[in-house]
Amino acid sequence: MAQETIFAKIIAGEIPVEKVYESDSVLAFRDIAPQAKVHLLVIPKTTAYENVTELAAGDPALLADMVAVAKQLADEHGEGEYRLVFNNGASAGQTVFHVHAHVLIDDLKEQSLGG
C-alpha cells in the first residue's frame, strides 16, 4: 500500500485541481508545473500502486483504462498524438509515489518545421 501522497489528498478533494476527466476509477487533471503546451496527469483513484510496474502486475485492466483516458484527452486537447510518461523511482524523477501518467502534448508539427 502506498503512503498518503498529495494525489490521495487530490482524490479526497482536499486539494483543488483543474479536473479534465473523472470516472469511478480514474481521475485526470492539469499538472501544476506544465512541461509541455498541454500537460495532464492521469491517475487511478486507488492508492494501492506506487508506480506503473506495480500497477501492470496488480491490475493491468486499470492500466489499460488509464491509457484509454490518455488517448481520449489527447483527442480533446490536441490532435490525438501525445507522449505518455511514467517516472519510476526517485532517481528517474518520480516525486509522487502514487502511480500517474504524464500526458504531454506539444505542437510537434510546428517544432519540426522550425516554427
Q: What residue ranges bind ligand AMP (CB under 6 A)?
A: 6, 15, 17, 31-33, 41, 87, 93-96
Q: Which is nearer to ligand AMP, 18 or 76 (CB)?
A: 18
3-state SS class at 92: helix
CB of 39 to ligand AMP, least distance (A): 7
Q: How far is the CB of 35 from ligand AMP (least distance, A)?
A: 7
102: annotated active-site residue: no
Q: Which amino acid is at 85?
A: V
Residue burial 42-57, b: 16+ Cβ < 10 Å; e: rest = bbbbbbebbbbeebee
For the annotated catalytic residues, the residue numbers are 100
